[in-house]
Structure formats: C-alpha cells, structure tokens
A and B are shown apart, each in its own frame.
Chain A
C-alpha cells in the first residue's frame, strides 16, 4: 500500500511540477495581456529540440543546452510579439482575444511543421536523462523525477521573486491590473508585453526539456501539457498565478491517483469531469473573481 502511495505521489508531483511550469507561462500572458497563446505547446517542443541539437550536434554540455532552450523560447516569444501580437494590439477593438488566438494557432502549426521538416517524425531521445533512484521508505523515487521537481520549483520561485520583488515585476503587475494607469505612471506597456512573452517563452523552453526527458522528443510533445495547463488555468481562475500552481499540483495528484486506481485511460476523463464540476460550482475558477460586464 505504501509503495503505491509513494508511486502516486511521485507521479503526481512530477506531472504537477511540469503542468505548473507550463501553466505559469500561459497564465502570465493571460493575466497581463488577456491573450491565450495557442503556440505555447509548440514552444515547449522547440525547447526540447534545441537542447537535443546543442548536445547531440554541437557537442556542448547539458547546462549550456538548457540555457539555449530558455533563450530559444524567449526569442520565439519576442518574435511572436514583434511580428504579430503588437500589430493586433495596435489595431485595437474588442476582437483582440479572438484574433490573437487564431493567429497563435497558425504559429503553432507552422512551428510544429518546421520541427517535423528539420528533425523528422521519428521520436528522439532527450539527452537530459538521469538514471538511478533513491529509496524512500518502502518505495523508490527515480532521481530524474526529483531533479524535474527541483528544477521546476526553482524556476517557479525565481519567477515569483521576479514578479513580486523587482521593478520589472511591478511593471508587469501594474499593467495586468490596469493598463491605462500603468501608462500614466510612465510604464512602457509595449516593452512590458515583450518581456512577458519572452519570459513565458523561456518558461516554455525549459518546460519542454523537462517534459521530453520523461517522454520522447516529437514535434507534438507540447500538445498534452498545453491542454492540461489550459485546464489548470481555467480551474484556478484565468490569470491567477499562485492559484494556477496550486491547481496544477492538486489536479496532477488526483489524476495520478485515478490512473493507479482505475487504470491509465481514466485519468484524463476524470480530470475533465472534475473541471466541469468545479466550473459549475465556481464559474470564475477556484481562486478567480467573478466579472460582471454591463452590456
């Protein structure tokens, strides 16, 4: 019994850390810009492949490759802003949320196909792999899972410090809470959006490396974490960062428990049912605030 509990907790915490990392990236953008980035999953895959290329083709050490994945994700985020999002924001109007969603679906398809063209469709093995395990009580915890959780938690703590303690973080929070007021305080809102997309892209890059280390490298590897991350965002209340992290860990542990108890195929359906129930109970999400719009 204890070894099953350990296995559920290890799987739940590992997946929770990965979901949380993907969720933070999505939630940051939604919270500050009201933008749903449908290319987030493709940016995860990009990070995974960049690490593979830097290690396998260039022969550089893994830490350099991971930094390269973060840099590539950040660059992709910045290009997304400069090439598309900025123009859509300038055109104004109430249709921004819809048009940016459609535009980023297009970017996601293009990026996935570019990866398919360069690397082929065969799954590749991520060089970020750690063997060995640590005994915990009656169970065994793989070292790779411990590293994944540690890296994810360290990155989330760093993001949290950045948002709450730095000038850049203050500008991001101010822009998220009231764009016009931020402008009147002298905050360059366009630059804040660029920074948010770069930050989110960097998070997607590192998340892609971690995800592909326990699965395999394929152009579509970001689709599942992106879908789950979106679900976590909605459950937490869109744009709520701490809530999104809590929801990611909570739902991942429930999913793992269902998978162990009832079989792997029941994990996702039960997760969805739970989400529907939560949204009926609290339409604005567990930690979200209801919005009233006058028509």
Chain B
C-alpha cells in the first residue's frame, strides 16, 4: 500500500495534565518529506503537544492520525509501533547503557538484523561521533553528544515521522550549530520531521511550515519567512 501524503495529522487536539487544558483545539498537518515547526515561548504547550502525540499525555478530545490511522487512544508503545519516533526534551537516554545499546533500543521493535545494520550505518554516517563513542556509557557524554544520541536513537526506529523537542535547549552556540547542521542534512534526505523550538529565527530556514503556539492555541500558521513580520509574533513573545 502506498504511503499516505500526510504523515501526521492533528485534528482539534485538546490535552492537559491534572488541571485545565494545556492544549486547546490544535490542528495541523505534517506532509511526508517535510519539516513542520511549532514555535512559541516556554510554558505554552510545545512539549505537551509532542507528549500528547506520542501518548505520554492522554488527549482529552480530538484526533491524532499517523499515516491515516487514528492513534490517540493507543498506549505509547503502540503509537511508537505505528511510526512515531519522539526525541524528547532532555534526551531521556538510558544512562547505564552504552551509546551503541541506546541506539539499538531505538530499533527495539525491528526484528530484521539486516535492516537494523543498515539503519546503524546511516546513523553513523550522519553522526560519526557516535561511532567513536559507541562503547561509552550515555551518562558520561557531553550535552551535545547526548542530543546526538537522542536523534540517532530516534532515527534507528525507522519511523514515519521524527518529532524533535527543542534539540538546541541548554547547548553552547557552537554545538547548537552542529545540531542544526544535522537537521539540515535530515531535510536533504527527505525525512519527515515535526520540530518544536522556542526561537523562530533559528529554524526559519530549515522548515517548510511554521505554527505559532500561544497559550496552548495555534494563533498563526504559514511559511516561516512571513511569520517574522507578523504582529502575532510580538504579541506571543512579549505579551499584549
């Protein structure tokens, strides 16, 4: 069966933790082979959005469609099996496992050794540092290396869509450049990515579509170049 043109679709998604809704009626689409970015200030629901798609936070209403199939009622491990690879904020690596073991955990659901080897070769080609560090424990890596392991582990899943949660958070400027170089190469490879980021200027050249998230609602969507001139951007980041 041919792969649908829309890898991920959110329809009126509402979610939250114990209190009021954090996300309110989010609708967006991530076409296959494109990078879609959700930007917004801290605490406005960007991470919650990704956690809801991957099932770590239960949706209160609305639909999440992965490759056309509804997944919002599934357990997180089943959503991963449906083709969602989530690289969360702060990496969530397995600290007592080596870099290699962490990468292999990314391919946990893949049984074909040949496919796993091929994915590993791709990841090593994209992130050569991981090959050098493959026997090293994840807990002993630097922040940038940890972020690369997180991205590599996400790629090992061979998923329909890769979701990256603020990959530059807390890193030095030079390391941030390296991380975004990697994302640029993923774009060239035609990967489908949903990226959340606080700084719109940083990702404007990388993505095809940008959504502005303000207090759990999408207040603007369109080509990234247009967002920079919009009043909504100032209102969201500076208040008003």
Which A residues have a C-beta under 8 Å from some C-beta of B?
A: 167, 170-171, 173-174, 177-178, 180-190
Contact = CB atoms under 8 A, between A and B. Distances in A.
B115 to A, nearest CB: 15
B123 to A, nearest CB: 15
Nearest to A167: B108
Interface stretch (B8-16, B95-103, B217-225): B95-103
Given A174-B105, A180-B88, A185 B95 contact: no
A186 B108 contact: yes
B76 A184 contact: yes
B66 to A, nearest CB: 13
A170 B85 CA distance: 19
A192 B226 CA distance: 48
B23 interface: no
Given A183-B77, A184-B54, A184-B80, A177 B108 contact: no
A234 B26 CA distance: 48
B56 A186 contact: no
Contacts of B93: 178, 181
Interface of B: 54-56, 75-77, 80-81, 85-86, 88, 92-97, 101, 104-106, 108-109, 153, 157
A123 to B, nearest CB: 44
A274 to B, nearest CB: 28
B97 A184 contact: no
Contacts, number: 67
A177 B77 contact: no
Contact of B96 (A177, A184, A186, A189): A177
A32 B81 CA distance: 23
A137 to B, nearest CB: 42
Contacts of A185: 77, 80, 105-106, 108-109, 153, 157
A32 to B, nearest CB: 12
Most buried by B among A171, A181, A182, A188: A181
A189 B77 contact: yes
A167 B106 CA distance: 12
A174 B97 CA distance: 8
Given A185-B106, A188-B77, A178 B56 contact: no
Contacts of B101: 170
Contact of A173 (B76, B97, B106): B97
Contacts of B97: 173-174, 177
12 contacts: A170-B105, A171-B108, A177-B96, A178-B94, A180-B56, A182-B105, A184-B56, A184-B86, A185-B108, A187-B105, A187-B108, A189-B77
A177 B81 contact: no
Contact of B80 (A170, A173, A178, A186): A186
B97 to A, nearest CB: 7
Contact of B92 (A171, A173, A184, A187): A184
Nearest to A189: B77
B94 A181 contact: yes
B106 to A, nearest CB: 6
A21 B215 CA distance: 54
Given A184-B85, A187-B77, 12 more contacts: A167-B108, A170-B108, A174-B97, A178-B93, A183-B55, A183-B75, A184-B56, A184-B86, A185-B108, A186-B80, A186-B108, A186-B157
